[in-house]
A = this chain, B = another copy of it.
Amino acid sequence: MNKNSSNTMALAPNTSNKRETVCIFGTGDFGRALGHKMIQCGYPVVYGSRSTQISNLIPKDAEVLGHAEAAQKAAIIIIAIQRQHYNFLTPLAEVLRGKVLVDISNNLKLNQYPESNAEYLAQLLPGSKVVKAFNTVSAWALQSGTLDASRQVFVCGDDVEAKQMVMNIVRALGLTPLDKGSLLAAQEIENYPLQLFPMWKFPIFLSLGLTAFFFLYCLALDIIYTYIYENNNFSFFIAITIPNRVCPVMALILLALVYLPGIFAAIIQLYRGTKYRRFPDWLDKWMLCRKQLGLVALAFASLHVVFTLVTPMRAFVSWRTGKGIISQALNNKTEPLNHTNAWISDSYLALGILGYFLFVLLGITSLPSVSNNVNWREFRFVQSKLGYLALILCTAHTLVYGGKWFLSPSAYKWYLPNIYILSLIVPCAVLVVKFVLIFPCVDKPLTKIRQGWERNPKYSE
């Protein structure tokens, strides 16, 4: 069901009220927000609280009772109190026997306690059926109805029926329950809302660092050098010219870094003669963030494309073009078409377009909903075959475009190589080694190793 319909539902409480009563322990912010929402969706709500005098903050249709009385009124009790106060529940063990307890708590840090809060609760009250749920939803989102982000609610628990009851409530609130299995998954579920793009950190910091380096490199060679030795002030190059030099370099290097760990893995496996030993830790981590590296590379490539396409609109470029034409006109001559130039210019443009096209295809197939509709064989085909083809095309694009600078001595300002030369080192290395790896004499043993064969059993653990 899409968002609107369930929101409408939330705004217009269902009148046919045959939902079962739900008890909420704790009248804190999240407990109140959840109670509000449940009342809107037709659930009778009873709060269990130390002070039973009716507070203004509690939804007015809810009853407030002492913990024991409240618990007796419902089969499902939502524990909206903090973990450090869970032990006050132990005296209630008899009342809570057989009841479904929903742990909705979150921690402040990843893996704050040795066991998850839900497992701790289950240990305290072994007679109750503990279900973990709702911890990934924010009180603010529940209340304002603006659940733009994920509507998924992770649910886990050891009792199947209790889990089903909680999942029905989740669905009734317009959210999507996702069964994560037994209570062992609670740790993972409790860690989930604390993350901030953990897999993106390395790719983003790496690319920020490299971007800063290449930006300063270009700044020195293109603006400062020109200013000092040629007395030209091209400071406005900072806005477009230099970004458009850094972006393609970053895109190419990052794309090569996506395929480099696979090459390392193949070499390590060939050397060890087995696939049954773990890779070094850094390689493991690198392989796990290849998708993110690739997407950052795609972002740089996209910026490069747009920066390139606006070129004719730049005042500097119009001025330079006009100057060239005027000088020909004033000299009364028309230069003939330089066929070599026409070939080079059209070639690198075409190579770049095709490479970028494949790159975008790779990006689209990495969308979760697309990759879920693709089997392993298809995924490998796209990510490996098309990915290498994209790398080849982009490397060729850079070679054809930057080639003229490789040999010209004027490209070595301050004896530093041109940025295009730097950008080609990693991709060329990857392509050369990959080319070696697909030779049958290397590929055959590698395939055998990956199918489980061992050259040298003494290596195995």
Closest B residue by C-beta to A341: B315
Of the listed stretches A67-75, A89-97, A179-187, A420-428, chain B binds A179-187
- Asked whether any CB of chain B lies closer than 8 Å to the CB of A192, the reply is yes
Check B189–A181 contact: CB distance below 8 A.
Answer: no
Q: Cβ of A409: which chain B residues have Cβ within 8 Å of it?
A: none
Looking at the complex, which one of B171, B184, B185, B196 makes contact with A181 (CB distance below 8 Å)? B171
- The residues in A between 327 and 342 inclusive whose CB is less than 8 angstroms from any CB of B are 327-330, 332, 334-335, 337-339, 341-342
The reply to whether B327 and A315 contact each other, CB–CB distance below 8 Å, is no
Cβ–Cβ contact B196 & A377, under 8 A = yes
Q: A149-B379, A372-B152 are in contact. Are A337 and B312 (CB under 8 A)?
A: no
A418 at the interface (CB under 8 A from B): no
Q: Answer yes or no: A49 CB below 8 A from chain B CBs.
A: no
> Quick check: B349 and A310 within 8 Å, CB to CB?
yes
B residues less than 8 Å from A316 (CB atoms) = 337, 342, 345-346
Contact (Cβ within 8 A) B287 A236: no
**A: interface residue count bin:** 35 or more
Instruction: Please indicate the chain B residues that have their CB under 8 angstroms from the CB of A339 in the complex.
Output: 233, 236
| Alpha-carbon distance A11/B283, docked complex (angstroms) | 13
What is the chain B residue whose CB lies nearest that of A450? Answer: B140
B288 contacts A349, CB within 8 Å? no
User: Once bound together, how far apart are the Cα atoms of A16 and B345, in whole Å?
Assistant: 63
Knowing A148-B383, A187-B14 are in contact, say whether A236-B192 is a contact too (CB < 8 A).
Answer: no
- A188-B6, A325-B329 known; A309 and B311 CB under 8 Å? no
A398 to chain B, nearest CB (A): 16
Q: Which residues of B contact A19 (CB under 8 A)?
A: 184
Inter-chain contact A14/B184, CB cutoff 8 Å: yes
A457 and B310 form a contact (CB under 8 A)? no
Give the distance in Å from the alpha carbon of A318 to the alpha carbon of B317 in the complex: 12
- The reply to whether A461 and B374 form a contact with Cβ atoms under 8 Å apart is no
Asked whether any CB of chain B lies closer than 8 Å to the CB of A417, the reply is no
Q: Which residue of B lies closest to A348 (CB)?
A: B239
Q: Which 8 A-B pairs have the closest CB atoms?
A: A29-B452, A369-B369, A149-B379, A171-B181, A239-B346, A315-B345, A56-B460, A312-B312
15 cross-chain CB contacts under 8 A: A1-B185, A4-B195, A9-B188, A144-B265, A149-B380, A149-B383, A150-B373, A167-B181, A235-B343, A309-B310, A311-B313, A312-B312, A315-B341, A367-B367, A368-B373
